[in-house]
């Protein structure tokens, strides 16, 4: 006979305000099999947990239901407490009467009735629950970092410095991400290259880091501590082991007029190229779409001039499978573009700004390249259309951001600050020029941030106009900017030579596809979701996967680096153990009843189901049945719902448990 | 979203079978965001919609559910990679069967609610609750339940004996 204890939490007032907790505890006491029930102000507090432990001992409880917040919040806490009191942790369950009840209903009578029902469901579930022994699995102490921007670089260096192997997979030919493109950085105006390049070189030289550049994640299998990751190394057409990085091929390539992505299309590169001089690795890559050799079979100059014979037109993509213990996702962001958007996209373009057809309306990243000493203009602010120095420049903040009608309602967080930076850089370079900024608000929380912004306004003579721009059009060689100053309440019209748009930060192209490979969740914009907005900001809900940088939400460099180091610390905590306990929610086959139809094997997404031969004493095979490899089983239960004879069962979610719950309805 | 929750003459029973990773978390988010919805729904958590056996839905109807919701991750987002695809295929067949036996399919709703879609959870639950409220109680299966003893509970001695006799 079960002896279940039910503990109803007030959660301060969070639950008791709408749910009559005393009544719920009293009702629980009347459920057959419940030996003890009570209510308490804060179950998760130390006295609350002690109350639970004491009751387990005193009333000889065989199972426990804590009616409180979501199990996603405190299941671990209470299972640990129950375990400490000698109970099997898996016969401790939570009835979610906060997130699923008190917080979402106002009618006290109905909310109380619902809370009692939820408790009853869980009591029946625990009554049929079995003691489970946690499964221990080994931890592979090798981390994978996806994305080689500042987030990925920081995380990789931290983990590698702690003595663990790290694999960095970067999609582009070089690591560096967006930070490598920046000129100076707020809030101190450090030169971005100067603080970034040494870190990139450290990644290349670190004995514990293996860099897969120009590579992508093909497939991810397994689980925390034991992932199997397939990496696709795209064909570079240059053998990295032979190339010395001398650059002769680049100099001799006859195809030189290709817009350089690194300079936002404003500089030129050849068909065989390194994206920028400080690239890591410093190995060129052939852009096959623009290479004459690949397009017409004629040329081959680079192969001829390459001393060590590193150019290889026949090179193919290669796939490598790696055993990985933890994954840090650091795939960063892309910038919103004001172009006309494809049919069906939730993001709208800006027809009022000419849909990207006016050449001297550029985005913030282009401005960074123009201001950068290594950029296409050698650091001079010159406008793209005719190379003239703009004397009147207009910056517009919140383009795409905080604009629900354009499809994005969030704030991109970094634009107020980098626009202030841009006005300063402009003022330092064009002394007789005037910068105007259209803004909705100046959002500058952060150490030294408001001071930085004030400097732009008070000392660097930028004119800030509060209001949005309603229309822009080309008139002769000027851009007419029409907007309103909402503080003064007048219409403003500026004849600008150049306009810089602080466009919204969006998740990286293909972020959703990568998430699907990893099995992690993402929001409607494709930013990756953390396990808890406040208390688990770097963990994914999927164990063993961590987030760093702008892939989780818009972030500046200080925040990105902090998060990356935090993610690295989480990986190190994991790697501090040789063995890992994982939830024993895995399927088991009842060998007696299995008829060997292998319907389960066909549906198992993990390939966990193997064929097992049952032999008689003479060693003759009498039947072949299904066997679930507990190390591989992910615990989805699809096999159980599929099995026609119901002989494979998922521990913790047995038919018996679920039916018992349904019986209470 | 502060709809006054008053008791109606008919309060339907709505049962939701949801997966832990997406919809359960989405419902949590609705809670943390203090969104309001009708208190008629009872949530049963599964690791994955792939675990949800159609028998559970039948049983829920028999035990008095007036509406059933099955909700998991969006196609492609399954935590277990493909569990929700299997679920989708299984439920497509199951719906046809229910239709055949004369169950009004308006009582059975499938949806995808992700961990970030607290608002969508509220919408789906509210819609289903109000729809079945309008349809009135579902009687067909409850009457069946009265007529014969349900045999799906695996612990009946008869069933155990029957199983043991095969081997
Ligand atoms: C115009 C502008 C100015 C800025 N100025 C400043 C400033 O002054 N100060 C400041 O603090 N911040 C500034 N920022 C913000 C700063 O750029 C970001 O905080 C920082 O770059 C975020 O780093 P990250 O590593 O998360 O992302 P990213 O820099 O975007 O790096 C992501 C990396 O992952 C790679 N990647 C993407 N997808 C995949 C995939 N599927 N597989 C493998 N690799 C992948 C990308 O190629 C890239 O290398 C500015 C941003 C902009 C747009
Ligand atoms: S589906 Fe069931 S009976 Fe068939 S092999 Fe798998 S466990 Fe055995
Ligand atoms: S529960 Fe079944 S289907 Fe799911 S991973 Fe485990 S063995 Fe495979």
Q: Give the model confidence (pLDDT) of B18-35 as tens digits.
A: 999 899 999 999 999 999
Residues in chain A within 8 Å Cβ distance of B78:
519, 605
CB contact under 8 A, A638 and B7: no
Map tokens 């998760």 to a residue: A44
Q: Do residues A54 and A203 share a domain?
A: no
In a domain, A132, yes or no: no
Cβ(A268)–Cβ(A259) under 8 Å? yes
Q: A187 preceded by cis ω (within 30°)?
A: yes
Please calculate the CA angle A541-A544-A548 and round it to the nearest 5 degrees: 75
CB contact under 8 A, B35 and A641: no
| Mean pLDDT estimate for chain A | 95
What is the pTM assigned to this prediction? 0.84
For the purposes of burial, counting CB atoms within 10 Å of the CB of A619, is it exposed (0-12), middle (13-18) or buried (19 or more)? exposed
How far is residue A19's CA from residue A10's CA, in Å, rounded to a whole number? 9
In a domain, A137, yes or no: no
Average pLDDT over residues A285-309: 95
Chain B nearest-CA residue for A586 = B47
Thinking of the domain B14-139, which architecture would CATH place it in? 3-Layer(aba) Sandwich (3.40)
How far is residue B133's CA from residue A425's CA, in Å, rounded to a whole number? 64
pLDDT greater than 70 at residue A129: yes
Q: Do residues A459 and A535 share a domain?
A: no
Chain B interface disruption, residue of A512, A638, A646, most B CBs within 10 A? A638
Q: Do residues A606 and A525 share a domain?
A: no
Q: Do residues A413 and A548 share a domain?
A: no
Nearest CA to ligand 2 atom 3: A594
How far is residue A423's CA from residue A431's CA, in Å, rounded to a whole number? 11
Give the pLDDT of residue B151. 47
Residues in chain A within 8 Å Cβ distance of B122:
104
* Residues 6+ positions from A472 with CB-CB distance below 8 Å: A352, A353, A354, A358, A361, A479, A480, A481, A482, A499
How far is residue A247's CA from residue A514's CA, in Å, rounded to a whole number? 34
Q: Do residues A378 and A502 share a domain?
A: yes
User: What confidence category does residue B166 fall into, taking pLDDT thresholds of 50, 70 and 90?
Assistant: low
- The string of pLDDT tens digits covering residues A141-198 is 999 999 999 999 999 999 999 999 999 999 999 999 999 999 999 999 999 999 999 9
pLDDT greater than 70 at residue A424: yes
Map tokens 């910056």 to a residue: A395
pLDDT greater than 60 at residue B4: no
Nearest by CB: A106 against B36, B48, B78:
B36
- The string of pLDDT tens digits covering residues A229-256 is 999 999 999 999 999 999 999 999 999 9
Q: Does A599 touch chain B (CB under 8 A)?
A: no
Q: Does A313 touch chain B (CB under 8 A)?
A: no
Q: What is the CATH number of the domain that holds A655?
A: 3.30.70.20
- The string of pLDDT tens digits covering residues A392-406 is 999 999 999 999 988
How far is residue A365's CA from residue A506's CA, in Å, rounded to a whole number? 14
User: What confidence category does residue A663 fall into, taking pLDDT thresholds of 50, 70 and 90?
Assistant: very high
Q: What is the DSSP string of B107-149?
A: GEEEEE--TT-HHHHHHHHHHHHHHHHHH----HHHHHHHHS-
Which residue among A590, A633, A641 is best mutated to probe the pocket of ligand 3, counting the most ligand atoms within 8 A of its Cβ?
A633
Q: Do residues A226 and A300 share a domain?
A: no
- The string of pLDDT tens digits covering residues A454-485 is 999 999 999 999 999 999 999 999 999 999 99
Q: Do residues A495 and A347 share a domain?
A: yes
Cα of A404 vs centre of ligand 1, distance in Å, is 24
The DSSP output letter for A341 is: P
Please calculate the CA angle A25-A28-A29 and round it to the nearest 5 degrees: 90
pLDDT greater than 70 at residue A528: yes
A4-9 and A34-40 beta bridge pairing: parallel
The token duo for A194 is 């100067």
Q: What is the CATH number of the domain that holds A187?
A: 3.50.50.60
CB contact under 8 A, B50 and A603: yes
pLDDT greater than 80 at residue B160: no
Domain residue limits at A295: 248-305
Cβ(B63)–Cβ(B145) under 8 Å? yes
Q: Do residues A352 and A498 share a domain?
A: yes
User: What confidence category does residue B77 fall into, taking pLDDT thresholds of 50, 70 and 90?
Assistant: confident
For the purposes of burial, counting CB atoms within 10 Å of the CB of A616, is it exposed (0-12), middle (13-18) or buried (19 or more)? exposed
- The string of pLDDT tens digits covering residues A58-81 is 999 999 999 999 999 999 999 999
Give the pLDDT of residue B1. 43
| Ligand 1 atom nearest to A147, measured from its CA | 34
How far is residue A347's CA from residue A506's CA, in Å, rounded to a whole number? 10
pLDDT over 70, % of chain A: 100
| ipTM surpassing 0.90 | no
User: What confidence category does residue A608 fall into, taking pLDDT thresholds of 50, 70 and 90?
Assistant: confident
Chain A nearest-CA residue for B56 = A659
Number of CB atoms found within 10 A of residue A476's CB: 7
Half-sphere exposure of B84 (CA within 13 A, CB side): 27
Per DSSP, the three-state class of A222 is strand
How far is residue A420's CA from residue B118's CA, in Å, rounded to a whole number? 36
CB contact under 8 A, B115 and A98: no
Query: Is the shortest distance between the CB of A645 and ligand 2 below 6 Å?
Result: yes
Cβ(A390)–Cβ(A497) under 8 Å? yes
Half-sphere exposure of A456 (CA within 13 A, CB side): 29
* Residues 6+ positions from A417 with CB-CB distance below 8 Å: A186, A187, A444, A446, A449, A452, A453, A556
User: What confidence category does residue A582 fall into, taking pLDDT thresholds of 50, 70 and 90?
Assistant: confident
Q: Calculate the alpha carbon distances from A617 to A192, A620, A622 in Å.
A: 73, 7, 10
Half-sphere exposure of A605 (CA within 13 A, CB side): 26
In a domain, A454, yes or no: yes
Q: Do residues A406 and A497 share a domain?
A: yes
Residues in chain A within 8 Å Cβ distance of B166:
593
How far is residue A444's CA from residue A384's CA, in Å, rounded to a whole number? 30
In a domain, A497, yes or no: yes
Q: Which helix (H) or strand (E) holds A515?
A: helix A511-518
Domain end residue (candidates: A544, A575, A606): A575
pLDDT greater than 80 at residue B149: no
Domain end residue (candidates: A477, A506, A535): A506
Give the pLDDT of residue A330. 98
**Domains in chain B: boundaries:** 14-139
CB contact under 8 A, A637 and B42: no
Average pLDDT over residues A93-121: 96
Give the pLDDT of residue A534. 87
Tally the residues of chain A: 665
Q: What is the DSSP string of A525-569?
A: TSPBPPSBTTTBSSB-SSTTEEE-GGGSS---HHHHHHHHHHHHH
The answer to which of A323-337, A419-433, A562-576, B137-151 has the lowest mean pLDDT is: B137-151
In a domain, A35, yes or no: yes
Q: Do residues A342 and A415 share a domain?
A: yes
Average pLDDT over residues A504-523: 92
Give the pLDDT of residue B42. 97
Domain end residue (candidates: A446, A478, A506): A506
Cα of A508 vs centre of ligand 1, distance in Å, is 9
Number of CB atoms found within 10 A of residue A321's CB: 12
CA distance B102 to chain A (A): 22
How far is residue A150's CA from residue A152's CA, in Å, rounded to a whole number? 6
Beta bridge partner(s), residue A216: A232
* Residues 6+ positions from A598 with CB-CB distance below 8 Å: A609, A611, A626
CB contact under 8 A, A650 and B153: no
Q: Calculate the alpha carbon distances from A327 to A144, A539, B16 in Å.
A: 5, 10, 33
How far is residue A248's CA from residue A260's CA, in Å, rounded to a whole number? 19
Cβ(A28)–Cβ(A6) under 8 Å? yes
User: What confidence category does residue B167 fall into, taking pLDDT thresholds of 50, 70 and 90?
Assistant: low
pLDDT greater than 70 at residue B150: no
Q: What are phi and psi of A585, to 5 degrees?
A: -80, 85
Give the pLDDT of residue A283. 96
Average pLDDT over residues A595-602: 92
Q: Do residues A397 and A354 share a domain?
A: yes
CB contact under 8 A, A636 and B27: no
């Amino acid at each position: 006979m079960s002896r279940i204890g039910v503990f109803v939490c007030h959660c301060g007032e969070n639950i008791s305000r709408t749910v009559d907790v005393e009544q719920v505890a009293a009702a629980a006491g009347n459920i057959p099999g419940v030996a003890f029930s009570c209510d308490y102000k804060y179950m998760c507090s130390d006295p609350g947990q002690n109350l639970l432990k004491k009751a387990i001992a005193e009333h000889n409880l065989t199972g426990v239901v804590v009616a409180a917040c979501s199990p996603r919040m405190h299941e671990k806490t209470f299972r640990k407490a129950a375990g400490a009191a000698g109970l099997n942790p898996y016969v401790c369950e939570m009835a979610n009467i906060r997130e699923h009840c008190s917080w979402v209903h106002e009618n006290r009578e109905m909310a109380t009735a619902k809370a009692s029902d939820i408790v009853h469901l869980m009591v029946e579930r625990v009554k049929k629950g079995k003691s489970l022994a946690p499964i221990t699995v080994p931890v592979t102490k090798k981390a994978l970092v996806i994305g080689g921007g500042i987030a990925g670089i920081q995380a990789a260096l931290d983990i590698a410095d702690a003595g663990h192997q790290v694999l960095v997979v970067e999609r582009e030919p070089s690591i560096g991400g967006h930070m490598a493109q920046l000129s100076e950085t707020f809030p101190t105006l450090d030169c971005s290259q100067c603080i970034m390049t040494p870190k990139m070189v450290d990644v290349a030289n670190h004995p514990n880091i293996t860099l897969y550049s120009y590579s992508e994640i093909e497939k991810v299998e397994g689980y925390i501590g034991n992932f199997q990751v397939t990496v696709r190394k795209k064909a570079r057409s240059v053998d990295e082991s032979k190339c010395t990085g001398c650059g002769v091929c680049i100099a001799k390539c006859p195809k030189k007029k290709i817009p350089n992505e690194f300079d936002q299309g404003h500089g030129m590169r050849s068909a065989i190229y390194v994206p920028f001089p400080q690239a890591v690795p410093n190995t060129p890559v052939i852009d096959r779409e623009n290479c004459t050799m690949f397009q017409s079979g004629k040329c081959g100059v680079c192969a001829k001039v390459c001393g060590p014979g590193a150019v290889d037109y026949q090179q193919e993509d290669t796939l490598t499978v790696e055993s990985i213990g933890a994954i840090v996702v650091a795939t960063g962001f892309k910038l919103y573009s004001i172009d006309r958007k494809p049919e069906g996209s939730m993001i709208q373009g800006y027809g009022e700004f000419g849909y990207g057809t006016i050449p001297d309306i550029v985005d913030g990243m282009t401005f960074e390249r123009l201001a950068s000493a290594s950029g296409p203009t050698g650091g001079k602010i010159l406008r793209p259309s005719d190379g003239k120095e703009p004397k009147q420049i207009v910056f517009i903040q919140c383009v795409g951001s905080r604009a629900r009608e354009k499809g994005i309602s969030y704030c991109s967080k970094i634009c107020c600050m980098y626009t202030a930076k841009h006005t300063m850089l402009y003022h330092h370079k064009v002394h007789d020029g005037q910068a105007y900024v259209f803004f909705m608000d100046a959002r500058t929380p952060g150490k030294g941030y408001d001071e930085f912004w004030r400097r732009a306004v008070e000392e660097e003579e930028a004119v800030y106009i509060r209001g949005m721009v309603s229309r822009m059009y080309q008139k002769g060689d000027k851009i007419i900017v029409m907007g309103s100053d909402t503080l003064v309440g007048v219409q403003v019209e500026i004849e600008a030579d150049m306009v810089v748009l602080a466009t919204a930060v969006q998740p990286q192209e293909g972020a959703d596809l990568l998430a699907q490979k990893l099995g992690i969740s993402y929001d409607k914009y494709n930013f990756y979701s953390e396990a808890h907005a406040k208390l688990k900001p770097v963990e994914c809900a999927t164990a063993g996967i961590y987030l760093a940088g702008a892939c989780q939400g818009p972030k500046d460099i200080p925040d990105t680096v902090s998060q990356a180091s935090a993610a690295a610390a989480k990986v190190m905590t994991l790697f501090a153990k040789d063995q890992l306990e994982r939830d024993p929610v895995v399927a088991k086959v009842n060998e007696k009843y299995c008829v060997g139809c292998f319907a389960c094997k066909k549906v198992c997404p993990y390939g966990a189901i193997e064929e097992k031969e049952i032999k008689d004493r003479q060693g003759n095979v009498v039947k072949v049945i299904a066997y679930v490899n507990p190390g591989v089983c992910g615990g989805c239960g699809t096999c159980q719902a599929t099995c026609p004879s119901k002989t494979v069962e998922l521990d913790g979610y047995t038919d018996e448990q679920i039916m018992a719950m349904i019986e209470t309805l | 979203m502060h709809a006054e929750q008053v008791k109606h003459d008919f309060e339907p029973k709505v049962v939701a079978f949801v997966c832990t990773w997406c919809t359960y978390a989405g419902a949590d988010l609705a809670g943390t965001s203090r969104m309001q919805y009708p208190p008629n729904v009872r949530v049963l958590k599964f690791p994955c919609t792939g675990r949800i056996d159609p028998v559970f839905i039948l049983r829920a109807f028999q035990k008095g559910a007036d509406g059933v919701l099955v909700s998991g991750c969006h196609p492609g987002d399954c935590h277990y990679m493909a569990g929700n695809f299997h679920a989708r295929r299984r439920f497509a067949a199951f719906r046809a069967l229910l239709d055949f036996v004369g169950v009004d399919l308006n009582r059975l709703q499938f949806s995808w609610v992700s961990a970030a879609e607290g608002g969508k959870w509220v919408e789906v639950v509210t819609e289903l609750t109000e729809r079945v409220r309008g349809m009135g109680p579902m009687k067909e299966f409850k009457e069946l339940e009265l007529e014969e003893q349900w045999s799906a509970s695996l612990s009946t001695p008869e069933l155990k004996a029957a199983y043991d006799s095969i081997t």
